[in-house]
């Protein structure tokens, strides 16, 4: 059993992005999904600072310090892109115009609560950014994260212990071990890593897991 | 005759006083008014309230504002310094000598837009049930729990844009706009540093901030 790496988790989430979708990718692992978006579908990637249709990171000769994404990287625009100010960019988010956002996470609860902004690091100031707006505003909220912490503590939990980003907002979770939907009945597993038993997955999860009748094997290409 | 051009940078913050509130635009360096931020550092005012998305740029370009404890309060979505060590403002937050109102970024932008648009408060689902909205009025709309947020206004707003004309109309390039339009609306004196000031009027359809929202325009090289 080899858990997916960060690129493979991002790849797996990207395969589910809908044709024609307006998509916002959070910093860290989620933004990697842009590299693996299926080429036979067209997407418009949105950034909180006002880009609809962000393209690849700028190459050496095309860098423009006045054109950056939400992670302050110098980027390019793709054909059909549009630019807006922040109030408008967040109207797109809060107003329900973003089809999917993929966010990082510390914890997701069985009722879809998300904790992803405050790791309670001592001596460092807080940073919330646009996470709370995305969590309540996007039509569909997906979380890409490792299934457990480095110490093995589950991140899929009954109740989040870290400060919340949003209440009852998460629809799906992509981890290195499984693809899980948050349903009114609880966590529903749609895909589980090859050679990982259901008992072993449950041991790594702090809330009961249900299984889809057509639960499939989670796999990704070498990335 | 309407002419919002100012002669020199010393006139940019004319009239600022102790206790002033100052909005500062900029995101990832785009739209960041470095010349005006340095002018604020050079002005002999303290007890300031700074309203800006991230405090990092003040630490980079006007460290004296924090080092000399001239900032009383900030309203921001990000107050985390670079690196593992605490920055000056993180120390002051820890010690309780600097007040921080941490605001989700979309609520931050909308509170300023509302402030400039004559909307004193609004309900938003953002932040409901989180520690950032503890104690705020809540109300359910269409089955959705929302939080009452109040408008933000300020004495001054500082931003950088690409081009302006003497009527104070402003045009941005790339992602320079970010918080600029909302801040210009929400402030009593909006000061815009630009790459170029045109003698002729900007094409009306190419204007991102109508001059009705701006008060002072100055062309200065970008000092990022």
Question: Which one, of A132, A24, A143, A26, lies nearest residue B146 by Cα?
Answer: A132
CB contact under 8 A, A167 and B31: no
B127-139: average pLDDT: 98
For chain B, give the mean pLDDT: 97
Cα distance between residue A32 and residue A8, in whole Å: 9
Per the structure, the count of domains in chain B is: 1
Q: Identify the helix (H) or strand (E) that includes residue A14.
A: helix A6-14
What pTM was estimated for this model as a whole? Answer: 0.97
Chain B touched by A119 (CB under 8 Å): no
* Interface pTM, i.e. ipTM: 0.97
Closest residue in chain B to residue A168, using alpha carbons only: B129
Q: Most A CBs within 10 Å: which of B31, B60, B105, B223, as the mutation test of the A interface?
A: B105
Which burial class, exposed, middle or buried, applies to B113 when counting CB atoms under 10 A from its CB (0-12, 13-18, 19+)? Answer: buried
Position A122 scores a pLDDT of 83
- Contact: A125, B87; criterion CB under 8 Å: yes
* B73 Cβ contact partners less than 8 Å away, ≥ 6 residues apart: B49, B50, B98, B99, B100, B101
Question: Quick check: is A39 catalytic?
Answer: no
Domain assignment present for residue A1? The answer is no
In a domain, B96, yes or no: yes
Q: For residue B192, what is the enclosing H or E element?
A: strand B187-198
Cα(B101)–Cα(B132) distance, integer angstroms:
9
Q: For residue B157, what are the β-bridge partners?
A: B23, B190
Q: How close does chain A come to B41, measured CA to CA in Å?
A: 22
Under the banding of pLDDT at 50, 70 and 90, the label for residue B88 is very high
For range B144-156, the mean pLDDT: 98
Q: Give bridge partners of residue B76 from the DSSP assignment.
A: B102
Question: A163: which 2 tokens?
Answer: 């400060």
Give B 69-98 residues with CB within 8 A of chain A.
Answer: 77-81, 84, 86-87, 89-90, 93-94
Distance of alpha carbon B32 from the chain centroid: 10
pLDDT value at position A36? 96
3-state SS, residue A173: strand
Asked if residue A27 is part of any domain, the answer here is yes
Please give the average per-residue pLDDT across A8-29, as a whole number.
97
Q: What percent of chain B has pLDDT over 70?
A: 100
Report the distance separating Cα A78 and Cα A80, nearest Å.
6
* Within-domain flag for A141: yes
Is residue B43, in this structure, part of any structural domain at all?
Answer: yes
Q: What is the CATH number of the domain that holds A84?
A: 3.40.1080.10
Query: Looking at the DSSP assignment, which residues form a beta bridge with residue A83?
Result: A51
Q: Please tell me the distance from the alpha carbon of residue A58 to that of residue B177, in angstroms, as a whole number.
A: 20
As a whole number, the mean pLDDT across chain A is: 97
The answer to whether residue A223 sits within a structural domain is no
Residues of chain A in contact with residue B177, where contact means CB-CB under 8 angstroms, are 50, 83-86
Q: What is the pLDDT of residues A78-107, one digit of tens each?
A: 999 999 999 999 999 999 999 999 999 999
User: What's the rounded Cα separation, in Å, for the pair B224 and B215?
Assistant: 23
**What is the model's pLDDT at position B133?**
97
Cβ distance B105 to A128 less than 8 Å, yes or no, reads yes
SS3 call for B74: strand
Domain containing B200 equals 9-119+151-219
Q: Which residue in B147, B155, B143, B154 sits closest to B127, CA to CA?
A: B147
Give the residue with greater pLDDT, B108 vs A123: B108
In a domain, B143, yes or no: no
Cross-strand pairs, B138: B147
Model pLDDT, residue A77: 97
Q: What is the CATH number of the domain that holds B29?
A: 3.40.1080.10
Question: Has residue A120 got a pLDDT over 90?
Answer: no
Residue A78 lies in a domain: yes
Q: How confident is the model at residue A1 (pLDDT cuts 50, 70, 90)?
A: confident
State how beta strands A178-183 and B121-124 pair: unpaired
Residue A48 contacts residue A92 (beta carbons within 8 Å): no
Say which residue the tokens 């705020």 belong to.
B136
Cα-atom radius of gyration of chain A, to the nearest Å? 17
B191-209, pLDDT tens digit by residue? 999 999 999 999 999 999 9
Does residue B79 lie within any of the structural domains? yes
Q: What is the pLDDT of residues B2-35, one digit of tens each?
A: 999 999 999 999 999 999 999 999 999 999 999 9
Please report the pLDDT score of residue B84 as a whole number: 86
Distance CA A137, CA A96 (A): 5
Residue A154 lies in a domain: yes
Alpha-carbon distance of A117 to B105, in angstroms, equals 12
* Strand, coil or helix: A167: coil
Q: Who contacts B205 (Cβ-Cβ below 8 Å, separation ≥6)? A: none
Q: Give me the pLDDT at residue A121, please.
A: 84
User: Are residues B16 and B156 in contact, defined by beta-carbon separation less than 8 angstroms?
Assistant: yes
If you write DSSP's letter for every residue of B45-82 in order, what string do you get? --SEEEEESBTHHHHHH-HHHHHTT-EEEEEESB---S
Classify residue B2: in a domain, yes or no.
Answer: no
CA atoms within 13 A on the CB side of B169: 14
What region does B166 belong to: left with phi over 0, alpha with psi -120 to 50, or beta?
alpha
First to last CA, chain A: 16
Both tokens assigned to A10: 């991002």
| B187 falls within a domain | yes
Q: CB count, 10 Å around CB of A13?
A: 25
Its domain, for residue A16, covers: 6-218
Region B72-100 average pLDDT = 94
Asked whether the beta carbons of residue B94 and residue A93 sit closer than 8 angstroms, the reply is no
Q: Angle at CA B111, nearest 5°, toward B26 and A44?
A: 60
pLDDT value of residue A162: 97
The predicted pLDDT at position A99 comes to 98
Q: Rounded to the nearest 5°, which phi and psi values hold at B112?
A: -75, -45
CB contacts, 8 Å: A84 with chain B: 177
Short-list A184, A192, A194, CA closest to A212: A192
Specify the number of domains making up chain A: 1
Question: How near does any CA of chain A get to the CA of B191, in Å?
Answer: 17
In this model, does residue B83 exceed pLDDT 90? no
Question: Does the pLDDT value for residue A123 go beyond 90?
Answer: no
**Beta strand extents in chain A (DSSP E only):** 22-25, 44-46, 51-57, 75-83, 100-103, 107-109, 114-115, 140-144, 156-157, 172-174, 178-183, 186-193, 209-218
- Of the candidates B28, B81, B105, the beta carbon closest to that of A125 is on B81
User: Does B153 lie at the interface with A, CB-CB under 8 angstroms?
Assistant: no
d(CA A209, CA A189): 7
| Span A56-61, average pLDDT | 93
């Amino acid at each position: 059993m080899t858990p997916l790496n960060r690129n493979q988790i991002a790849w797996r989430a990207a395969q589910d992005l809908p044709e024609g979708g307006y998509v916002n990718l959070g910093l860290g692992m989620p933004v990697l999904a842009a590299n693996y978006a299926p080429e036979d579908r067209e997407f418009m990637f949105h950034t909180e600072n006002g880009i609809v249709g962000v393209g690849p990171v700028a190459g050496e000769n095309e860098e423009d310090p006045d054109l950056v994404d939400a992670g302050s990287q110098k980027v390019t625009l793709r054909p059909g892109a549009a630019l807006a100010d922040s109030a408008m960019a967040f109207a797109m988010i809060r107003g329900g115009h973003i089809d999917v956002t993929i966010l990082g996470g510390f914890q997701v609860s069985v009722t879809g609560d998300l904790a992803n902004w405050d790791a309670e690091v001592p001596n460092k100031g807080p940073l919330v950014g646009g996470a709370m707006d995305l969590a309540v505003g996007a039509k569909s909220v997906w979380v890409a994260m490792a299934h457990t912490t480095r110490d093995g503590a589950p991140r899929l939990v009954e109740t989040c212990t870290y400060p919340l980003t949003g209440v009852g907002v998460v629809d799906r979770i992509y981890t290195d071990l499984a693809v899980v939907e948050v349903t009114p009945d609880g966590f529903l597993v749609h895909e589980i890593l090859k050679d990982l038993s259901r008992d072993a997955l449950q041991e790594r999860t702090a809330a009961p897991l249900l299984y889809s009748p057509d639960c499939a094997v989670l796999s990704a290409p070498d990335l | 005759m309407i002419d919002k051009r100012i002669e020199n940078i010393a006139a940019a913050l004319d009239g600022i006083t102790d206790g002033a509130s100052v909005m500062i635009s900029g995101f990832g360096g785009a739209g960041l008014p470095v010349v005006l931020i340095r002018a604020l550092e050079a002005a002999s005012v303290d007890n300031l309230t700074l309203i800006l998305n991230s405090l990092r740029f003040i630490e980079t370009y006007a460290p004296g504002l924090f080092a000399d404890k001239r900032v009383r309060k900030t309203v921001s979505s990000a107050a985390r310094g670079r690196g593992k060590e605490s920055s000056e403002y993180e120390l002051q937050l820890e010690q309780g000598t600097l007040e921080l109102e941490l605001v989700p970024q979309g609520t931050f932008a909308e509170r300023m837009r509302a402030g400039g648009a004559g909307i004193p408060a609004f309900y938003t689902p953002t932040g409901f049930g989180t520690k950032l909205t503890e104690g705020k009025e809540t109300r359910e709309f269409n089955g959705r729990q929302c939080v009452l947020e109040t408008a933000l206004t300020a004495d001054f707003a500082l931003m950088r844009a690409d081009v302006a004309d003497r009527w104070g109309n402003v045009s941005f390039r790339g992602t320079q706009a970010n918080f600029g339009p909302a801040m210009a609306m929400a402030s009593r004196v909006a000061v815009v540093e630009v790459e170029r000031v045109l003698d002729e009027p900007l094409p009306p359809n190419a204007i991102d901030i109508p001059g009705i929202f701006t008060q002072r325009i100055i062309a200065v090289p970008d000092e990022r």
